[in-house]
Amino acid sequence: MDLFPETRGLPAREGPLQKRTHFIAALQDEIRLFQDRLSLRPLVRYQLVHSDFGADPTFGVLLLRLNTAREAQEDSVSPSLGVKYKLASWLDLKGNIGRFTRVPTLFELFGDRGTTLGNPELRSERSTNGDIGFVFEQSELGLLDRVYFEYAYFASKADDLIVFVQNSQNTARAENIGSAKMSGHEGSWSATAWQHLRLFGNYTYQATEDTSITFSRGTKLPERPQHELHQGLELFAPQGKFVYELDYIAQNFLDRANAFVVDSRLLHNLSLTVLPLGKHLKLTFEVKNITDNRIADFRGFPLPGRSFFGTVEGKF
């Protein structure tokens, strides 16, 4: 069998047809009470997934084989509820809770021809998710033209959680984790001053734990950094804008045993956009990773050092 003809300059061999039919139906309502200060949004979502997968290998007989053709059908009902209460003209309280089902994607099942291996034995992920928080928004507050801040506490308990786990130096494979729990805090903000200056950003803190009855019980989940921060500063005018952005991602683990670690990443980026002919012509120049840090992504693969980009966009 000629598994990789493209290595000899020939057309790539196509595997068997992998077919999936996905049907989704949802019913949602919105109930307003107390002179529209309280909003309730119940939702029921039904999904039916029919999969028809062939039997031939799609990534080499030693790496992935479906021993027999498989045809399966799965359905699920996911109820959820969203609540929002306007406490003041500038402050909203909100929360959501629901039960959800996620079937494995074709990419998770079959991978690609590179660094991601498929796992045709994956089971659907089921979780109960909830969050509660508030939104603050105010215009003309002192020197500020507008200020916006949103915060939420979130928690999730999942069964058969699907995660990518490193199984060799250069490849990762999707696996089910019997049970897991996640919780944390999310915040996003934006403030505009003097009609020319904007500060914006978001931050996420998450604590994760593998709660399955296996060797990895009590460890942190792979590819889930504890801290993520994005912060930007923008100077704008009708003629264009200048933007500085900072991205920080804390270290994360690559495997369920937490033996392999990707170090934290810190990036500084700049961009300049000029509109010499108004909306008809836009010139953009960007510098990514200004400090030329040697960093890797959340799977441990190296990312580019200092990079320069330029774009020209015209509209008529």
Alpha-carbon span 183 to 160, nearest angstrom: 17
What tens digit of pLDDT does each residue of 132-149 get? Answer: 999 999 998 888 899 999
Q: Which residues contact 7 (CB under 8 A, 6 or more apart)?
A: none
Q: Which residues contact 278 (CB under 8 A, 6 or more apart)?
A: none
15 — pLDDT class (breaks 50, 70, 90): low
What pLDDT sits at residue 19?
A: 79
Q: How far is CA 115 from the centre of its chain?
A: 19
Please determine, for residue 6, whether its predicted confidence score (pLDDT) is greater than 80: no
Residue with more model confidence, 126 or 294: 126
Give φ, ψ of 107 to 5 degrees. -65, -40
What tens digit of pLDDT does each residue of 253-305 get? Answer: 888 889 888 888 999 999 999 998 888 899 999 999 999 888 776 566 777 88
Residue reference for tokens 């109930």: 31
What tens digit of pLDDT does each residue of 72-103 get? Answer: 788 899 999 999 999 999 999 999 999 999 99
Strands (E), the chain: 19-28, 31-33, 38-53, 70-88, 91-102, 116-117, 125-141, 144-166, 172-193, 197-210, 227-237, 240-249, 252-253, 261-262, 265-274, 281-288, 307-314
Range from 14-28, 31-45, 77-91, 277-291 carrying the lowest mean pLDDT: 14-28
Residue reference for tokens 């960093």: 295
What pLDDT sits at residue 23?
A: 92
Alpha-carbon span 4 to 163, nearest angstrom: 28
Please determine, for residue 8, whether its predicted confidence score (pLDDT) is greater than 80: no
Residue with more model confidence, 284 or 4: 284
What pLDDT sits at residue 105?
A: 87
Alpha-carbon span 248 to 230, nearest angstrom: 7
Query: Hey, what amino acid is at 247?
Result: D
Give me the chain's average pLDDT, please. 86
- Measured between alpha carbons, how far is residue 162 from residues 26, 126, 176 in Å? 24, 10, 5
Alpha-carbon span 105 to 108, nearest angstrom: 5
Contact 196, 172 (CB under 8 A): no
What pLDDT sits at residue 261?
A: 87
What residues does 104 pair with on adjacent strands?
none
